Amino acid sequence: MIFKELDGGLSVIDNLKVAGAKEGKYGVAVIVSENSDASAVFTSNKIVAAPVIYTKKVVEKGKVSAVFVNSGNANCFTGNQGIEDCESLVELVSKELNIPKGEIAISSTGVIGRKMPLDVITGVASKVFSSLGNKPEDSLAAANAIMTTDKIPKQCALEVTLTNGEKVKIAGITKGSGMIAPNMGTMLSFIVTDGVMESKYINKALKKAANKSFNMIVVDGDESTNDTCLLMANKASGVNIVNDGEIDPNFQEALEYLCIDLAKKMVKDGEGASKVIEANIYGAKNIDEARLAAKAIVTSPLFKSAVFGGDPNWGRIVSAIGYSGADVSADTVTIAIANKQDEVDLVKDGEILAFEGTDNLLRAEKIMLGEEVIVNVDLNKGDGEATAWGCDLSYDYVKINAEYTT
Amino acid sequence: MIFKELDGGLSVIDNLKVAGAKEGKYGVAVIVSENSDASAVFTSNKIVAAPVIYTKKVVEKGKVSAVFVNSGNANCFTGNQGIEDCESLVELVSKELNIPKGEIAISSTGVIGRKMPLDVITGVASKVFSSLGNKPEDSLAAANAIMTTDKIPKQCALEVTLTNGEKVKIAGITKGSGMIAPNMGTMLSFIVTDGVMESKYINKALKKAANKSFNMIVVDGDESTNDTCLLMANKASGVNIVNDGEIDPNFQEALEYLCIDLAKKMVKDGEGASKVIEANIYGAKNIDEARLAAKAIVTSPLFKSAVFGGDPNWGRIVSAIGYSGADVSADTVTIAIANKQDEVDLVKDGEILAFEGTDNLLRAEKIMLGEEVIVNVDLNKGDGEATAWGCDLSYDYVKINAEYTT
């Protein structure tokens, strides 16, 4: 075992303090991890929120000591006022926690195009500053505070045994429920390790992990303006994660596991979601095409509706991979539907095995009625492989998003 | 007036016979327009249905005398059997109507991945062959027969006055309700003019019209395997539409009007749709970027849900154009929401006018509650303009698609 799961979220990391509080639809979380090396990945949306613009500049310098996050208002499309609001909050955090302004990252999630209610946010913030701690309930409070339409707080913590036998910890909290896709969705994720790792390596490790996790989940196909995933290394363990210029492979594997775990928790808690879809593509021409095909399946509103209804309408898988942009031929493709107990071939090397009335279609229907639907597709075109995760499209998705601001 | 609307759908065209019938979920329509020059546009999905493969070859020769359409089964992903079934149907049509096999187009819509129930289809077909006529009810019966989840039959007919004063007619029927987007969606459209026009000009005119109409509508973002839009010119009027190598501009304008009219009828009848969304983009860098931005708005599940709920959550418009791929800047964009009675600026040259509690937001909410929501966006980047149409995302969309095959 190169890593094991721990309870307690961010609280497993030494030299870290965290807290969170909510008041009505507004929440604040603060993570203090002094003198951390850091890097982050952000949304690729061309309209980005003020805190993304602000925090990009902070992170470029490679050092973050505290993160201030608010939910309820995205501080997006708020012009100069938005940047000024970021600066006011940073000034507040700096004064309260005695941290240099240049080492404070800021992050927001919530409604776009509304001014920040600074008085409300600072009111909640004052409670958070006074309750910073390093107990499991502190991490949980932070994970709770950053939720918007999320129903459950999401966190994950691991202890990793590096290749040289030394141990480091890594832990993260995340929020995200709608607007998840195609790149990072509306998600905020804050991950801390107690290992030693310069920001350029953090950047490399994080990008690789994000491409296999946060960038492979879809709730609805919308992409947010505020997405941020920040990884900090606070050196509390004194253990080097990078040796001779190489990131320890066990750490990389654990980071990817943690990111995938957080990502899967997001789709499971997707707006209105009642089921999780996993799409595995094998045999694509290359990895990029595999990613396209995997994401097309978990994005298709028609397939997502079919999963909601438990309808084994696998023609919609065919249709989705057909328009995905990946190279697909009707006479080579193999498609199976599975869950943990069963796997049934629907199409084998282009030959249909699940016509009306067949046993295969009945078994597929049984799988489709379950809470987890796995789609395995072999395109038989090359070596490209990828996995994407998504959720079904339900009445509740529509209900939640028809009534969001009103 | 260069054209006027007529009643009667395809029946307004001389030398044309049409009929349709349904039996349970299966329908058949036949259009006989002998010795027509023809061209068509098809789905760009890489998995295409057997009738698309078959009909592409027929249309390449530029001549179509009859179209046989069935609903209820898409004859897609049916391998060699699917092509054989097309051939059987063409043989039947050829024998019944005494038309050369090479001039018969075939089209299917319905469930993907199920073998064609040929006995049922030929049973319905026999009724259709015996009832071919040229009365308004015959066209309506055909428009009805090709429906799947459509609620209303869709047809349009125009009389066009060409630039030289001569008159031609143009008429079409269409079906399409879900899987509409991004290119042609699940739609079948059969258009006939009584003018004289060689297939290469038909191809040119149809492509231009389809790009402004069928290729600019979105119900759900899924793209079908069976889309076909066929335009036939049967020369019954003896009037040339092409003179000195130029397509008469009045005809082109009328054809575009007809295609847009049929396209809008499709989104209005989109699965579960209760409202129509029109997105107009101005000032894009170029027309391609305008098309991307316009389609992103009518595709966004979040904005579509907001329209369903009458929620003026215009941040979702910002987010959608931001990830559309078009060049967008927060400080230059102007966004307005409108209906036929009112237009209200939400953002003007980057400045927000619709904060909480403003009169603008209240007026926007009133517009969002109506049955038609128009979004006008000026990107202030160039001269590119485009319009896209879509519908809201409702509980009924989910219901219809959760229960489609079961």
Q: Is A175 annotated as a binding residue?
A: yes
CA distance A181 to A194: 30
| Same domain (yes/no): B318, B262 | no
Residue A405: band (very low, low, confident or very high) from pLDDT cuts 50, 70, 90: low
A22 plus A135 within the same structural domain: yes
Residue B200 sits in the same domain as residue B309:
no
* Same domain membership, residue B304 and residue B236: no
* Tens-digit pLDDT profile for residues A303-351: 988 899 888 888 889 888 988 889 998 889 999 999 999 999 999 998 8
User: Is residue B352 very low, low, confident or very high in pLDDT (cuts 50, 70, 90)?
Assistant: confident
Q: What is the CATH number of the domain that holds B311?
A: 3.10.20.340
Report yes or no: A401 at the B interface, CB cutoff 8 Å.
yes
**Within 10 A of B5 (CB to CB), how many other CB atoms are there?**
11
Structure tokens at A253: 């594997």
Contact at 8 Å (CB) between A29 and A52? no
B179: nearest CA partner in chain A? A302
Give the total number of structural domains in chain A.
Answer: 2
Average pLDDT score over residue span A375-393: 93
Does residue A351 belong to the interface with chain B, where contact is any CB pair within 8 Å? yes
Claim to verify: residue A183 and residue A291 sit in the same structural domain:
no
- The reply to whether B79 and B198 lie within a common domain is yes
From chain B, the residues in CB contact with A308 under 8 A are 398, 402
Q: What would the mean pLDDT of A143-162 be, rounded to a whole number?
A: 93
Please compute the mean of the pLDDT values over residues A156-162 and round it to a whole number: 96
Query: Which residues constitute the domain of residue B308?
Result: 276-402
Comparing A117-126, A164-173, A310-319, B146-155, which segment has the lowest mean pLDDT?
A310-319
Q: Are B111 and A313 a contacting pair at CB < 8 A?
A: yes
- Write down the pLDDT at residue B181: 46
Task: Give B341's contacts (C-beta < 8 A, 6+ positions apart).
Answer: none
Nearest CA in chain B to A184: B323
Q: Kindly provide the ipTM of the predicted complex, given to two decimals.
A: 0.73
- How confident is the model at residue B19, as a pLDDT? 98
The whole-angstrom separation of Cα B57 and Cα B66 is: 15
User: Which of B53, B80, B367, B401 is most worth mutating to test chain A (most A CB atoms within 10 A of its CB)?
Assistant: B401
Statement to judge: residues B151 and B18 lie in one domain: yes
The partner residue sitting opposite A402, judged by closest CB among B45, B309, B331, is B309
Last residue of a domain, one of B215, B250, B268: B268
Clarify whether residues A86 and A217 are in a common domain.
yes
Are B168 and B302 part of one and the same domain? no
Phi, psi for B28 (deg, rounded to 5) = -135, 135
Low-confidence winner among A27-36, B119-128, B268-277 (lowest mean pLDDT): B268-277
Residues 192-211 of B with CB under 8 A from A: none
User: Do A255 and A110 share a structural domain?
Assistant: yes
Residues tagged in the binding site annotation of B for substrate = 148, 175, 186, 271, 401, 406
Q: Do residues B238 and B351 both lie within one domain?
A: no
Which residue numbers of A are catalytic? 186
CA distance A204 to A225: 23
* CATH code assigned at A97: 3.60.70.12
Query: pLDDT tens, B290-321?
Result: 999 998 899 888 898 889 988 888 888 988 89
pLDDT of residue B185: 42
Q: Do A296 and A220 fall into the same domain?
A: no
CB nearest to A301's CB, from B113, B221, B302: B221
pLDDT in tens, A160-206: 999 999 999 999 999 987 665 434 346 888 999 999 999 999 999 99
Distance CA B280, CA A49 (A): 24
Q: Please, which pLDDT band fits residue A259 given cuts at 50, 70 and 90?
A: very high
Strand partners, B337: B344, B375
Instruction: Using pLDDT thresholds of 50, 70 and 90, give the confidence band for residue B187.
Output: confident
A78 has a pLDDT exceeding 90: no
C-alpha distance from residue B217 to each of A255, A356, B278 (Å):
42, 32, 9
A401 in a known ligand binding site: yes
C-beta separation of B27 from B20 below 8 A: yes
Q: Average pLDDT in the B368-377 region?
A: 94
Q: Which of A268, A300, A322 is at the close of a domain?
A: A268
Where are the alpha helices (H) located in A168-214, listed in sequence order? Answer: 199-212
Domain end among A204, A237, A268: A268
Q: What is the DSSP string of A365-398?
A: HHHHTSSEEEEEEE--SSSEEEEEEEE---HHHH
